[in-house]
Each structure stands twice: as structure tokens, then as C-alpha cells.
Amino acid sequence: MSDHIFPGADAVDVLFLGTGASSGVPVIGCSCPVCLSSNKKNHRTRSSIIVHHSGKNLLIDTAPDLRYQSLKNGIVAIDGVIFTHPHADHVLGLDELRVFNYIQKREIPVYADAYTLSRVQMMFPYAFSEANRGGLSRPKLIPHEISGPIDILGMKVISFPVYHGPVMNHAVRINDLVYLTDCKGIPDESWEALYGVETLIVGAVKYEPHESHFGIHEALELVDRLKPRRAYITHLSHSIEHDELSKMLPPSVFAAYDGLRITTGA
């Protein structure tokens, strides 16, 4: 990784708000062992994290479960949002941001690549409108396009493209942390952003390969190539039981779960 992109990376705290695939776990109407499990680590809301640094909260994606996730984890402030891509399970909680606007008495900056930003604005035009921006009736968001390395809330951030089946997704590097969900492959031009990562959070929907996501073994191949100090597997479907996955993972690789808190870059 080029030194000019991440000079002097600082420690950040990470809260896994959700670690589930697009249907969450349990899945509606499903009676499989994982969906019926009493193990709370098998209860997964849609994937999202909060990165906390110097008293500020940076949310990555607004999952449909954002209200529940915020109540469960005592989240009362969101100082910025990064969107990785405009799929439903990553953006449909956007309207919940209006409560944070009301609490904080200020607008919230949101960041994404140009395509994702345009799609989010198309889906939620009222959140970006200049009309009727008072009160609790709508979110009040300020869009910012990410087109290269950027400082967000005192953290060094880069968004870089990855393959998500037939479309592109964007992974995010924040200091020495990489958040990489909804990925099937890495374009040649994106590898530089991955090298030297200390903590890797990578999505894997099933054990076997999926048409638009890593399987567990593909995710582990990426971990083996990058050799981060720690790695966490997220975006898990109901085909994966938490404790069974944990037992087969190599040292320093962990199955993430809702509510997990870690510190990286210390």
C-alpha cells in the first residue's frame, strides 16, 4: 500500500451491527436448524458496521434493520455514512437516519462512488431535497462522491471496486481495516488497496461458491493471500452455523456475529 494513502494509521473501534446475508437469520418461514437455533450468534440482522474513532461514529451501509440495530446497541449518534453499493439489504434503512438528524440537530454527510450515490439519491430523493428539511419527517443528508483517498471524520478512507457477480460493489479501507462484503472477485487495479491490511472483514454467504459472493473457502483463500493480523467472516446465510464455522477456521480468523466489538490498528 502506498504510504501517501494511509500514513500513520490510528486505532479504530468496530461494532458489527449486523452479520447476515440479504434475508437475515432466521429466514421468514424457514425451519432449518440454524433458523431455529437458540444460539444468539446465529441470529443475524442484515450486514452493517459502525467504525468509531475520536468520538465519532461512521456507519457503513444502512441495513433494513438499522432501527433495531441502533436500539439494541445503544447507538444515539451517526456522524457520517458510507454506502458500498445500492442493493436493498445495504440501503433500505436510510430513512432511519432522520432520527439521528433530529437528535444531533444537524445534517449527516453520506459518501459513495458516483454510481451508488446516484442510485441512493434516486431511491430516496426526499432525503436530499432542499425543501421542507425541518423536523423529523425526513432525513437530511449531504452527498459526497468518493473518487480517491479521502479523510472522513479523521480517518483515511479509500473506496475501491470489486466484482459482485455481474455488477460492481465497492469495498472500503479505513486506516488498516478493510470491509469487503458482497464480493466474488478482485479486479487487478484494486489489489493495492488490500495489501498491508491489518484487519480484514470479508463476506461469505455459504460454504460452497455462490454466483455473486465468496463461499467460505474462497474467503479463506483471500485471507491466506493477504495474511492480515486478524480476519472476520460476515454476511453469513442460514446455511452456516456459527459454532461449526468457528471450529473449522484457522487461527486469527473468526466468525463474526451481531454485537461483536473489536479494536483494530492499535
Predicted confidence (pLDDT) per residue in 50-74, tens digit: 999 999 999 999 999 999 999 999 9
DSSP assignment letter at 95: G
> Residue 63 domain-assigned?
yes
pLDDT of residue 6: 36
Give the global pTM.
Answer: 0.93
pLDDT of residue 4: 30
Q: Where are the beta strands (DSSP E) in the chain?
A: 12-18, 48-53, 56-60, 80-82, 108-112, 141-145, 150-152, 155-164, 167-174, 177-180, 199-203, 230-234, 253-255, 261-264
> Residue 2 domain-assigned?
no
> Residue 5 domain-assigned?
no
**What DSSP assignment string belongs to 150-172?**
EEETTEEEEEEEEEETTEEEEEE
pLDDT of residue 148: 86
pLDDT of residue 1: 28
> Residue 1 domain-assigned?
no
Cell of 219: 474467503
Kindly indicate the confidence band of residue 210, based on its pLDDT and cuts at 50, 70 and 90.
Answer: confident
> Residue 4 domain-assigned?
no
pLDDT at 110 over 70: yes
Predicted confidence (pLDDT) per residue in 164-183, tens digit: 877 889 999 999 999 999 99
Q: Report the alpha-carbon distance of residue 231 to residue 84 in Å, rounded.
A: 19
pLDDT of residue 180: 95
Domain with residue 93: its CATH number is 3.60.15.10
> Residue 113 domain-assigned?
yes
Query: What is the number of structural domains in the chain?
Result: 1
pLDDT at 209 over 60: yes
Sheet strands side by side (includes 108-112): 141-145, 108-112, 80-82, 56-60, 48-53, 12-18, 261-264
Q: Report the alpha-carbon distance of residue 184 to residue 168 in Å, rounded.
A: 10
Predicted confidence (pLDDT) per residue in 216-245, tens digit: 999 999 999 999 999 999 999 999 999 999
Boundaries of domain holding 103: 12-264
> Residue 183 domain-assigned?
yes
> Residue 164 domain-assigned?
yes
